[in-house]
Amino acid sequence: MTGSHEVAISGGGIGGLSAALALARSGVSSVVFERQAQWSEEGAGVQLGPNATRRLIAWGLEKALFDCAAWPERIEALNAKSGEVLCALPLGSRCQVRYGAPYATLMRADLQRLLREGVERLGLTQLRLGERLLPETLLAIDSGERTPSQADLLAFGVRAEGLTLGPETERGEVAPSGRGNAVQVQTHLTQALIGADGVFSPLREHLFQAPPLQYTGHLAYRALVARADLPAALRSNAVRLFLGPKMHWVQYPVRGGEWFNVVVLLEIESARAAERAQHLARQRRFLSNPWHQHPTQNPMSQAESSQDLQALQDALARSCTALQEVASLVPAWSVWPLFAAKPLLSGAGMCQGHVALLGDAAHPMLPYLAQGAGMSIEDAQALSSCWGERSLLVSERLALYAQWRWQRCAQVQRRASRNASLFHWGGALGFMRDRALAVFGTRLMDLPWLYSA
């Protein structure tokens, strides 16, 4: 036995670190197990609406956020073929005044770093890198009759990790190899276990008997382009959404505007794409989320396949010259298949007894509302508030958290899926969407139900 903790968190991504920070700000100590051996320094960008930045600021991260984020002036929707601006939602001071917090765009690695630094400053959290929590070892320690979800205390095993992958078996499974296999499992005790272990959450699969996630048929290609490399006309300090048939392009500044994050989202529903997506998904159960790593460190997610690149080139060939010009400046694309779950149906999808899920583990969604990280941050604050209800049993506090969160997260999941269709309409439907945006766009793009929470 190596440790006993009030709260144990599986996963040190945005969700896990946010939970640790929100708990620490209420004086609650926790331990975070992160299977990656080190924090990744690179990665893609994220947009954070005022619903997320409001919480980061309340957690004392205002200065750190201002030091590394960019502050887009507006969100623009454009037609990908003609380049016509259809509508714009002003952000900047309007967002600050209307929602009491700013709209930020930043590198995910910067967000993770500032959360980690916040956690470290408070000194109440153990951050244990390179340690994988093993859901199959979860156990109630007070009675052999009870299941992990009914226990007063939970015991679980953690194994030190190497990140090398072994060969794929005939069943298509990939197991880690290297030092991880040789190291003993250590046992820990906790009052509550929080699964913040990402889109392929091992805890969700093991304990919540959730069906495996399915490939959505959508691929994300991402890249960073230096501002200095872009022609002046293309250096817009806006979040720009170019909408086209079965594709859209998102672009926004990060790192104070020094870099532009570019993501192209394509619908590719071939059998080959689905097979490759499932293969990558199997590998992701063992690797950290390669989406968050730099393409050069992440050979599996590089757009190495000529078919992936061809699909991207075909989509760009149907797009305006501005997009083609930016694409020509991209040194390397990293491609990633997108997985999502059906919207949550009840609090039971987020909590069972002394175990609760948070972030992507609880509500994997398409990134078409740019709110996955935002929901993780909201979850974390809600968890910490519920944990403060000391008159309740641990299981009641977690049930309260799940009850509080599931409907909002389900609403965001539904809206993200709806955007997936809407953004990718072509033909007559695309024409009607563009006209509706041209007339009502600002009102349609402003989302008080989302941003004011």
Ligand X SMILES: Cc1cc2nc3c(=O)[nH]c(=O)nc-3n(C[C@H](O)[C@H](O)[C@H](O)COP(=O)(O)OP(=O)(O)OC[C@H]3O[C@@H](n4cnc5c(N)ncnc54)[C@H](O)[C@@H]3O)c2cc1C
Hey, is 411 helix, strand or coil?
helix
Name the residue nearer to ligand X (CB basis): 87 or 263: 263
Name the residue nearer to ligand X (CB basis): 24 or 46: 46
Name the residue nearer to ligand X (CB basis): 353 or 359: 359
Taking the complex as a whole, the smallest distance from the CB of residue 250 to ligand X amounts, in Å, to 8
Taking the complex as a whole, the smallest distance from the CB of residue 433 to ligand X amounts, in Å, to 21
Q: Tokens for 303, please give them.
A: 């757009």
CB 276 within 8 A of CB 168: no
CA distance 46 to 37: 23
CB 23 within 8 A of CB 384: yes
CB 404 within 8 A of CB 375: no
Residues 6+ apart with CB under 8 A from 373: 14, 15, 46, 48, 52, 108, 111, 359
Name the residue nearer to ligand X (CB basis): 95 or 196: 196
Contact positions vs ligand X (CB under 6 A): 10-16, 33-36, 46-47, 132-133, 196-199, 202, 220, 263, 288-289, 291, 359-361, 367, 370-374, 376
Taking the complex as a whole, the smallest distance from the CB of residue 362 to ligand X amounts, in Å, to 8
Taking the complex as a whole, the smallest distance from the CB of residue 404 to ligand X amounts, in Å, to 17
Name the residue nearer to ligand X (CB basis): 2 or 428: 2
Q: How far from each other are the two terminal CA atoms of the chain, in whole angstroms?
A: 42
Taking the complex as a whole, the smallest distance from the CB of residue 195 to ligand X amounts, in Å, to 8
Name the residue nearer to ligand X (CB basis): 35 or 433: 35
Name the residue nearer to ligand X (CB basis): 254 or 394: 254
Residues 6+ apart with CB under 8 A from 124: 23, 24, 27, 28, 29, 30
CB 122 within 8 A of CB 115: no
Taking the complex as a whole, the smallest distance from the CB of residue 423 to ligand X amounts, in Å, to 13
CB 357 within 8 A of CB 368: no
CA distance 166 to 175: 5
β 174-176/185-195 pair status: unpaired
Residues 6+ apart with CB under 8 A from 14: 46, 108, 111, 112, 115, 359, 373, 376, 377
Name the residue nearer to ligand X (CB basis): 188 or 397: 188
> In this structure, which amino acid lies at residue 406?
W
For residue 41, give the nearest of 68, 10, 5 by alpha carbon. Answer: 68
β 214-226/334-340 pair status: antiparallel
Taking the complex as a whole, the smallest distance from the CB of residue 10 to ligand X amounts, in Å, to 5
Taking the complex as a whole, the smallest distance from the CB of residue 444 to ligand X amounts, in Å, to 19
